[in-house]
Amino acid sequence: MAGDNAKKLLTQDIVRAALRRVRRWQDDPSKPADCPLCEAPGLQIADHSTRPYSEWYLVTCPHCGLDDRIQVPSAARNP
């Protein structure tokens, strides 16, 4: 594991880019997502949502060490 060297999604722009990739992955999980930081293929996405109360995803990239979570505000969800 990346541990203390884990990279984070530091800006809102990067969080939004990562969320777009999560959405694409949800549409077609057979297509691997690219890392929003280093653009390497093989972004790992884990859905930890407890619907309908919260929606969040753990995203990790074995290439650059990205290890962060994306929390989706409930107002941003599409029914």
Find the shortest distance in angstroms from Cβ 38 to Zn ion: 3
Find the shortest distance in angstroms from Cβ 63 to Zn ion: 5
C-beta of 22 vs 35, nearer to Zn ion:
35
- DSSP strand E in the chain: where? 33-34, 41-47, 55-60, 67-72
C-beta of 19 vs 35, nearer to Zn ion:
35
Rounded to whole angstroms, how far apart are CA atoms 34 and 16? 14
List of residues contacting Zn ion (CB under 5 A): 35, 37-38, 40, 61, 63-64, 66
Q: Give the SS3 label for residue 21.
A: helix
Query: What φ, ψ does residue 32 adopt, rounded to 5°?
Result: -65, 145
C-beta of 40 vs 46, nearer to Zn ion:
40
